Amino acid sequence: MIKKIELRNFRNLNEYQTNITKPLIIIEGQNGVGKTSILEAIYFAATTKSHRTNNEKDMITYDKPYAAVKVTQENQINEIILSSSGKRTSINKQELRKISDYIGRLNVVMFAPEDLMLIKGSPSERRYFLDMELMQISKKYLKNLNTYKKILKQRNTLLKKNKELIDYTFLNILGEQLYSVGTEIFDDRQIFINQLNEKLKKVSSKYKNFNIEIIYDPNISKENWLKHLKTKQKQDIFYETTTTGIHKDDFKILYNGLNAKDNASQGTSRLIVIELKLALLEWIKEVSGKDAVLLLDDVLSELDLNRQNLFLSQLSKNNQVFITSAVPIEIELEYQKIVLQ
């Protein structure tokens, strides 16, 4: 459980700290006062990433040299400092120079309005979801993904610089290396999706006519991918990039057997993603033995009152939960209220 949050120069929160005393925390306040920034800071302290921006400097208060986030748990302090020169991470005051040694020490699952792009957005956003969730739990996956990206960059650089390439020896070596590590990523993604689907089967018992299933949509089968790398070198040379592989994978979310992207309303899409995040909580507990912190940003808007009450009543008592809301929430559960002015 998180016991304390301390922020400095983070977004619009110059100096902020708060003690956490309950498993359920509701953060209330009007739009723009920093509710989402608190959740973003927790997510950043856990993953070294923002769920809101790819430009990390956006998280630093304007005209300040750095931002600092410290999240204190019962027996661990996660601290991350962001500046123009990069990120510095530490656990219990000991600096960890490798991000891979830092990620996974604090597990979080976050729902934010931006997550609706899992349904409506591009394949790259869905791949990012796969990678972020697996990276938090599996050091092997994180290592493989980093290796894959390095080899892919090498291969693409070779393709760009050598339009008249005749000797494919080095290109084939990189292709074999790419395939070797890429198939492990392929398998891990498939297993992850299968396991999530097992968790999602429970959703249909909560709501009438509400079945969710994730379908892995790989860019190419493993067999055809290897064949492509060995026989379609000219095609990749022409396009100056590696045209096939797990870096182009996707997945579909089915709602009652139909593609949710085309058949789910805004409110239904929101509920689908919420249930996906709750399934993630169970998956993390199953594979890691640890309970993740659940971060819910503006989770109740666009849900009708019955679904709001049903959702809140279904929250796991084992997970610490942070909820933001622009309006007061009236629930019977015991909780800590934080009001931002």
Residue 299 is predicted with a pLDDT of 82
Q: Can you state the angle between helices 35-47 and 123-137, rounded to 10 degrees?
A: 60
Q: Is the pLDDT of residue 43 over 90?
A: yes
**What average pLDDT score do residues 34-56 get?**
94
Whole-angstrom distance, CA of residue 117 vs CA of residue 114: 6
pLDDT digits (tens, 9 = 90+) for 124-155: 999 999 999 999 999 999 999 999 999 999 99
Q: How far is CA 217 from CA 77, 214, 245, 246, in A?
A: 39, 9, 12, 10
> Using the 8-state DSSP alphabet, how is residue 109 labeled?
E
**What average pLDDT score do residues 293-319 get?**
77
> Using the 8-state DSSP alphabet, how is residue 294 labeled?
E
Amino acid at 324: T
Q: Is the pLDDT of residue 303 over 70?
A: no
**What average pLDDT score do residues 269-274 get?**
90
Specify the residue for token string 């891990």: 188
- As a whole number of Å, the CA-based R_g of the chain is 22
15 beta partners: 8
- Work out whether the CA dihedral 11, 16, 21, 27 comes out positive or negative: negative
Q: Does domain 1-107+296-341 have CATH number 3.40.50.300?
A: yes
Domain residue ranges in the chain: 1-107+296-341, 116-290
Specify the residue for token string 């008592």: 317
pLDDT digits (tens, 9 = 90+) for 216-263: 999 999 999 999 999 999 999 999 999 999 999 999 999 999 999 999
Q: Which of 217, 49, 47 is nearest to 123 (CA)?
A: 217
Q: Which of 222, 317, 292 is nearest to 43 (CA)?
A: 292
Residue 302 is predicted with a pLDDT of 64
pLDDT tier for residue 312 given thresholds of 50, 70 and 90: confident
Q: How is residue 110 written in tokens?
A: 């976050």
Q: How is residue 62 written in tokens?
A: 């304007």
Residue 203 is predicted with a pLDDT of 77
For the chain, the first-to-last Cα distance in angstroms comes to 25
Q: Is the pLDDT of residue 37 over 90?
A: yes
What angle is formed at CA 2 by the lines to CA 17 and CA 282, rounded to 5 degrees? 140
Q: Which of 70, 55, 52, 131 is nearest to 106 (CA)?
A: 70
For the chain, the average pLDDT equals 92
Q: Which of 51, 46, 34, 47 is nearest to 112 (CA)?
A: 51
Q: Is the pLDDT of residue 29 over 80?
A: yes
Q: Is the pLDDT of residue 165 over 90?
A: no
pLDDT digits (tens, 9 = 90+) for 177-218: 999 999 999 999 999 999 999 999 987 777 788 899 999 999
| Architecture (CATH level 2) of domain 116-290 | Up-down Bundle (1.20)
Q: Is the pLDDT of residue 329 over 80?
A: no
pLDDT tier for residue 316 given thresholds of 50, 70 and 90: low
Residue 283 is predicted with a pLDDT of 95
Q: Is the pLDDT of residue 164 over 80?
A: no
Count of other CB atoms within 10 angstroms of residue 243: 15
Cα 134 versus chain centre, distance: 9
pLDDT tier for residue 118 given thresholds of 50, 70 and 90: very high
Residue 12 backbone dihedrals phi, psi, to 5 degrees: -95, 10
Judge whether 179 and 147 are in contact, CB under 8 Å: no
